[in-house]
Every structure is written in C-alpha cells, then in structure tokens.
Amino acid sequence: MKTGKQRALYVLQNFLLIVYAIFALFPLIWMVLITFKSDTEVFTTTFLFHPTLANYQEVLLRSNYARYILDSVIVSGGAVLVSVIVGVPAAYALARYNFPRKEELAFQILSYKFAPEILVVLPLFMIYQKIGLYDSYVGLIWVYQLISLPLLIWVVRGYFEDISVEIEYAAQVDGYSWYQIFFKMLVPLIKPGLVSSALLAFIFAWNSFTFPLILSSNKVYPVTVAIMKYLGTDSAHYGQLAVASTVSALPAVIFALCIQKHLVRGLSFGAVKG
C-alpha cells in the first residue's frame, strides 16, 4: 500500500539513479561506438556513421595486441597470485595473534599502498637495471605487490577477525591439524572477501600505468602502456585505441560477472562485527 508521497519518492530515487547511470555508462558506450568508426569519422560524426570492423582487424590481427594482453595477464595475474599466497597467511596472523607492535605493522603494510608510485619507481628504475629485473615479469610482479598486497591483506584481515577463535579450537579438538583447519575451515569462510579483493587488486594491477611505463620497455609490454602506441607519432588512431581499451577491459568484466554474488558483499572489510 503505497501513499502518493512514497510513490513520488520511489520515482525520484529511480530517476536519480538513472541520471547517475547515464553519466557512468555513456562514456563506455561512446568508447564502444568509436571502435566501429574510421579515423576520419571519429571527429565528424556522433551517432550516425558507417560502421566498420577495420579497427578490430588492425588491432587484433595486425598488431602485437595479443602479446600485450598476454603480458598483462601474466603480470597482473601473477601479482594477484603472489599476493594471495603470501597475503592470506599474513592477514590471518594480523587478525589472530597478539605480538608487539602489531597495529604498527598492519599500518605499515597498508601504507605501502599509499606510497607515491613515482617515489618508488624512480630509485627502483636504477636498482632494477642493476640487478636485471628491468623489463622483466618478475620485476613487475614484484612491484605490483604494492598495489595488490595491502588491499588484499586489509580486506581479508577483517574477515579473519570476524571468525570466532572458538571455531578453530573446535576443529582442533575434532582432530584436525593447524594446516587442515586453515585450508578446510577458514579459507571457505574468507572466500567472499578473498575473491572480491582479489578482483579489485587484479583491476588495479591491470590498469597500472606508471609502473610498466617506467620499469619495462620491450620484453614486457602490458596493455596499458601499449595502448598509448595507437596514439602514434604520425597520427592518432582513436578507433584502434578504443578497440584496444575495450578488449582489455574484458578480462576484468568477465571476472566480475563470475563473482557477482560475492562482489559487493565481499568488500565489507568486516566493518561491523557479526
């Protein structure tokens, strides 16, 4: 039974949401439209134009795009994988154990996320050149930990804090070793937080620009840096750039659709203890 006032409010809320959705989604639609435009039509047409697949052919078939994507997958995927492997146990320790200066340590780890990229990257540029990590997968995966690891640790730590320690005791009494408890009991419980923070970390790593721009050149060429190539020196191929950009968003989009169920719920940071 809705009163007139409630109905008006309902309509207003939907209206506001649609307004924001147009703002948020139109540029994406625009980008997709550009992928079908020839370079001349990019500047001369809006919605009415002669659609062409030339940009797709150019990018996907006649350039090294697949390799760039592969490099991005290796670097970002590798970074997230390393973060999960070392970050989940660290998050557990920060949630469960009491050791001196624990909060400082947790903040320290978090602050890596906030270290200005330029600050890290300038000296790292020289170190990497000296020790041979410049322009290598390992080098980028390592520096990407600054993006992915703190985020993952902080989200997952909130989850571990929400799990009552008695559950672990109960499992011990039930005859399980610490490792069995960790993998069989705890990992399923932190899964929502783990997958959604892993997704966010993946997105941030995938989109990272400064690190690959400065720390790699030819052998490792992630797609964010590669995209700039289509702005070329002779002429700017906006259509190709749009294709490259659209296609490069696909892995994250697919990942997001797969974990839809966990995506939102998983990022609650254990905000309110349950």
Among residue numbers 180 through 199, which ones bind other proteins (CB under 8 A)? 180, 185, 188-189, 196
Q: Report 123-142 residues binding other proteins (CB under 8 A).
A: 123-124, 127, 142
Interface pattern 61-80 for other proteins (x via CB under 8 A):
--------------------
Pick 61 or 116: Cβ nearer other proteins? 116
Residue pair 93/215 in contact by the 8 Å Cβ criterion: no
What six digits make up the tokens of 37? 């435009």
Q: What is the CA radius of gyration of the chain?
A: 23
Interface pattern 143-182 for other proteins (x via CB under 8 A):
x-xx--x-x-xx---------x-xx-xxxxxxxxxx-x--
173 phi-psi bin (left φ>0, alpha ψ -120 to 50, beta other): alpha
Pick 52 or 113: Cβ nearer other proteins? 113
Give CA–CA dist 66/240, Å, rounded: 14
Interface pattern 9-48 for other proteins (x via CB under 8 A):
-x--xx-xxx-xx-xxx-xx-xx--x-------xxx-x--
Interface pattern 203-232 for other proteins (x via CB under 8 A):
x--xx-xx---x--------xx--xx--x-
Compute the half-sphere exposure of residue 91: CA atoms within 13 Å on the CB side of its CA: 31
The helix/strand count (H/E) of the chain reads as: 16, 0
Among positions 49, 56, 137, 269, the unique one binding other proteins when judged by CB under 8 A? 269
Give CA–CA dist 57/48, Å, rounded: 21
